[in-house]
Chains A and B, each alone.
Chain A
Amino acid sequence: MRTNFLLITALMMLSACSGGKKKEIDTSKKAGKTPVIESADDITAHPGHDVYTLHCLPCHQADGNGVPGMYPTLHDTEWVNGDTETLISIVLHGMDEEIEVNGEVFSMVMAPLPHLTDLEVADVLNYVRKRFGTADGSITPEQVGEVRDEG
Chain B
Amino acid sequence: MKRIFLPLIAILFITGCGEPENKMQPDPENGGLVLPEGFSALVVADSLGNGRHITIKDNGDMYVSLRRPKDGKGAVALRDTTGDGKADAVSYFGSVSGTGIELHDGYLYYGADSMVVRYPFNDYEDLLPSEAYEIIAAELVDQNQHAAKPFEFDNEGNMYVTIGAPANACMEQMRTKGSPGMDPCPILDYAGGIWQFKADVVGQTQMDDGYRYSTGIRHMVALRWNDNVGKLYGVQHGRDQLHQFYPDLYDAVAGAKLPSEEFMMLDDGADFGWPYCYYDQLQGKKVLAPEYGGDGVEIGRCSAKTDPIMGFPGHMAPNDLLFYSGTQFPEKYQNGAFIAFHGSWNRAPEPQKGYFVVFVPFEGTQPSGEWEIFADNFSQQEVVENPGDAVYRPCGLAVGPDGSLYVTDSREGRVWRIYYED
Contact = CB atoms under 8 A, between A and B. Distances in A.
Q: Do A and B come from one complex?
A: yes
Interface of A: 1-2, 5-6, 9, 12-14, 16-17, 21-22, 25-26, 29, 53-55, 57-59, 61-63, 65-71, 73, 94, 96, 98, 105, 107-109, 111-115
Interface of B is mostly: loop
A13 B410 contact: no
Contacts of A108: 144-145
B29 A16 contact: yes
Given A13-B382, A59-B345, A25 B391 contact: yes
Contacts of A25: 380, 391
Interface in B3-58: 29, 34, 36, 50
Given A17-B381, A94-B174, A96-B144, A63 B373 contact: no
A115 B177 contact: yes
A98 B176 CA distance: 19
Contact of A61 (B50, B178, B348): B348
B387 interface: yes
A70 B147 CA distance: 12
B411 A111 contact: no
A151 to B, nearest CB: 15
Contacts of A114: 176
A5 B36 contact: yes
A17 B367 CA distance: 34
Nearest to B377: A13
A68 B387 contact: yes
B387 A62 contact: no
Given A108-B144, A109-B145, A63 B174 contact: no
Contacts of B147: 107
Contacts of B373: 5-6, 9
B173 interface: yes
Contacts of A22: 380-382
A57 B175 contact: no
B380 A112 contact: no
A112 B382 contact: no
A62 B382 contact: no
Given A58-B348, A59-B345, 8 more contacts: A12-B34, A13-B34, A25-B380, A58-B244, A58-B345, A61-B348, A96-B174, A109-B175
B144 A112 contact: no
A61 B345 contact: yes
7 contacts: A16-B377, A22-B381, A58-B345, A59-B345, A63-B386, A67-B345, A107-B147
Nearest to A14: B382
B348 A21 contact: no
A111 B387 contact: no
Interface of B: 29, 34, 36, 50, 67-68, 144-145, 147, 173-178, 240-241, 244, 345-346, 348-349, 370, 372-373, 376-377, 380-382, 385-389, 391, 393, 410-411
Contacts of A107: 144-145, 147
B256 to A, nearest CB: 11
A17 B244 CA distance: 32
A62 B386 CA distance: 7
Contacts of A71: 345
B206 to A, nearest CB: 20
B377 A62 contact: no
Nearest to B176: A111
Contacts of B411: 68
A136 to B, nearest CB: 26
A17 B382 contact: yes
A109 B144 contact: yes
Nearest to B175: A111
A66 B380 CA distance: 18
A76 to B, nearest CB: 14
A137 B318 CA distance: 44
Contacts of A59: 345
Nearest to A97: B144
A94 B176 CA distance: 10
Contacts of B385: 61-63
A65 to B, nearest CB: 4
A69 B372 CA distance: 28
A67 B382 contact: no
B210 to A, nearest CB: 23
B388 A65 contact: yes
A70 B345 contact: yes
Contact of A26 (B29, B144, B177, B389): B389
A55 B178 CA distance: 13
A22 B377 CA distance: 12
A94 B388 CA distance: 23
Contacts of B145: 107-109
